Chain A
């Protein structure tokens, strides 16, 4: 489909971004057993912090970092099996924090059932649960065409890409992202929307994610 034949969107795409103020939580785990308990009682925003948000803090790492629970299991507890299981949790498969929490708790509990010797094993350092106060901010970029969309995409900060591409599914409550959602709904670009949704966030830096989205959009507009 060429850019010329695209319909005019009814609603523009507003590029926003989000900033986070990190809070230290009440929960702390010195052992895997304590981790399991705290995972069940900590606030939702702690689960968000150590999964979705930590990806934003470490957006520049191409491979080897998935979430704080997996990282702690390996670096502090020296439990590579558990770390691998936890690292396999893909935040993009979840549209609610509740489901994500259940998945993580299940992995830890299953591991402890199979490895009772690890239940009271102390890590080098405790796991401190944190959370964030989040502020969503506008950016100067508002797109009412594919060209404008590409321009905004190329100029916003990395936090904006994370906000629209990764955090969005919690807002949308569906397995998609703001970019795909807008391209499909407003411009009818279903194939491009699907391609964007398929970009892997765990083997790409967020800058590479941006470039891949831009590449898909540029192909459509040419």
Chain B
């Protein structure tokens, strides 16, 4: 079994570098050029932070609370189980959470289930079906799901005090519940508000064997006969995507991408995906630009690896036409530092999603004290309290009007940004998440 540190920085998580032709592009004024050579190669992974690194961000009182809670559950052990060591938000979160819990004196182990192609095809279909997609649940799919879960159940040991299963793939491991002394928790990261009934009814008996469930938003949960907790996803303020950056580096990155920092910048960071409505953002730009000067930056990825992403990128370029003030950046996935710099250089940040999970790009924007305009979907209303921590919109016209308003009312925009930062500090940082895990460990340890 690998040590936690090895698991927290798996070598296979380092993607291969890309050639200039496949890495992505900078598009502006109707012409595209390759990305700067510097970003074609993934950087070496940054070392993971320790608890003491967070003192200056969250303050001594919060650190004291974390240490007190950790002391109360000292020696309790936790096992986290998910379906992948690399890629995706869950693995990214566990890479940071697991070492911090262990450092606080709550030894936490992370196991990853194994499965063949057929298993992951079934679980991918389940994932989409739980999000509401049409799906015909066959007997064969059920058998595949259960067979691989049973294989993993026999392979893994459940000797910890709390076993946390992430998402539906390893859900049936709970069949070991009665043979272990552990409390079993299902951490559901997906939106279950409108699931395919066949898949839901197949999975529900397993869910009901758990001692507790956790969802990322009130609206993602379902009626279940067991406690349901609300754990908001969080960002790490010390990650490459969110850490403070020197002004010189922000300037350098903007220069490389042709972003003019002497004029207002409105940015949307997201994959080139129709549900993020990048075309709608360009349309909002065109409406707002009739009365206020600014540049629009659309920074995202996914177009070089995903045919649909490439199609959406082309739609965005077509909508943008030859406008030199629209800068479209198709970036490789390792450009966290570049995204950070672009967000920090922005005057206003937009996330005009039509459908959304929790919306961590909104969290990132708020953390950087940026006035943020976002679609009122998914977990975004948990983050944006309209006109207090940001602005919620429901249409292209609404988005355009709010861009105009925030660019011409900098004091109000500043207040939104300041409130947004405090909102994230209070509710959506990894340290708050850590506190929730300690509280849950304590609570379940005391329950019969």
Shortest A38–chain B CB gap in Å is 13
Give 30 pairs: A residue, B residue, CB < 8 Å, sorted on A.
A17-B61, A19-B69, A21-B439, A21-B440, A23-B228, A24-B218, A24-B221, A24-B228, A24-B229, A26-B223, A58-B385, A58-B388, A61-B388, A71-B385, A75-B381, A75-B392, A125-B376, A126-B219, A130-B218, A130-B230, A133-B443, A135-B69, A135-B442, A137-B65, A137-B69, A138-B68, A155-B60, A155-B61, A156-B61, A157-B62
Shortest B74–chain A CB gap in Å is 15
A22 CB-CB contact with B under 8 Å: yes
The residues of B that contact A71 with a CB separation of less than 8 Å are 385
- Whether the Cβ atoms of B423 and A21 lie closer than 8 Å is no
Per the bound structure, the CA–CA distance linking A46 and B379 in Å amounts to 20
Residue A125 contacts which of B219, B228, B423 (CB distance < 8 angstroms)?
A: B219
B59 CB-CB contact with A under 8 Å: yes
Residue A22 contacts which of B59, B223, B230, B387 (CB distance < 8 angstroms)?
A: B230
- Whether the Cβ atoms of A19 and B419 lie closer than 8 Å is no
A21-B440, A23-B229, A24-B230 known; A157 vs B426 contact (CB < 8 Å): no
- Extra contacts, 15 of them, besides A24-B230, A61-B419, A133-B439 (Cβ < 8 A), are A19-B65, A19-B69, A21-B440, A22-B230, A24-B218, A24-B228, A58-B388, A60-B426, A75-B381, A128-B219, A135-B442, A135-B443, A137-B68, A157-B64, A159-B61
The residues of B that contact A125 with a CB separation of less than 8 Å are 219, 376, 381
Interface residues of B in 367-420 (CB under 8 A from A): 376, 381, 385-389, 392, 419
A19-B69, A159-B65 known; A24 vs B215 contact (CB < 8 Å): yes
Q: Find the residue from B65, B69, B443 having the highest chain A CB count within 10 A.
A: B65
A139 CB-CB contact with B under 8 Å: yes
Per the bound structure, the CA–CA distance linking A64 and B416 in Å amounts to 12
**Inter-chain contact count A-B, CB under 8 Å?**
85
Interface residues of B in 213-237 (CB under 8 A from A): 215, 218-219, 221, 223, 227-231
**Chain B 298-326 interface 0/1 with A at a Cβ cutoff of 8 Å (1 = within):** 00000000000000000000000000000
* Chain B residues packing against A (C-beta within 8 Å): 59-62, 64-65, 68-69, 215, 218-219, 221, 223, 227-231, 376, 381, 385-389, 392, 419, 422-423, 426-427, 435-436, 439-440, 442-443
A124 CB-CB contact with B under 8 Å: yes
The residues of B that contact A75 with a CB separation of less than 8 Å are 381, 385-386, 392
Q: Find the residue from A57, A124, A135 having the highest chain B CB count within 10 A.
A: A135
- Whether the Cβ atoms of A139 and B69 lie closer than 8 Å is no
Interface residues of A in 1-49 (CB under 8 A from B): 17, 19-24, 26
The residues of B that contact A140 with a CB separation of less than 8 Å are 64
Per the bound structure, the CA–CA distance linking A79 and B443 in Å amounts to 39
A60-B426, A71-B385, A124-B376 known; A17 vs B65 contact (CB < 8 Å): yes
A164 CB-CB contact with B under 8 Å: no
Count residues of A near B (Cβ-Cβ below 8 Å): 34
Per the bound structure, the CA–CA distance linking A20 and B440 in Å amounts to 10
The residues of B that contact A157 with a CB separation of less than 8 Å are 59, 61-62, 64-65
The residues of A that contact B215 with a CB separation of less than 8 Å are 24
CB nearest neighbor in A for B220: A24
A58-B423, A137-B68 known; A21 vs B388 contact (CB < 8 Å): no
Per the bound structure, the CA–CA distance linking A210 and B197 in Å amounts to 51
Per the bound structure, the CA–CA distance linking A22 and B426 in Å amounts to 14
- Whether the Cβ atoms of A64 and B387 lie closer than 8 Å is yes
The residues of B that contact A21 with a CB separation of less than 8 Å are 229, 436, 439-440, 443
CB nearest neighbor in A for B420: A60
- Whether the Cβ atoms of B426 and A59 lie closer than 8 Å is yes
Shortest A203–chain B CB gap in Å is 14
The residues of B that contact A59 with a CB separation of less than 8 Å are 426
CB nearest neighbor in A for B438: A19
Per the bound structure, the CA–CA distance linking A17 and B67 in Å amounts to 13
Per the bound structure, the CA–CA distance linking A59 and B419 in Å amounts to 10
CB nearest neighbor in A for B193: A126
Shortest B135–chain A CB gap in Å is 26
Shortest B365–chain A CB gap in Å is 17
Q: Find the residue from A20, A24, A155 having the highest chain B CB count within 10 A.
A: A24
The residues of A that contact B64 with a CB separation of less than 8 Å are 139-140, 157
The residues of A that contact B389 with a CB separation of less than 8 Å are 61
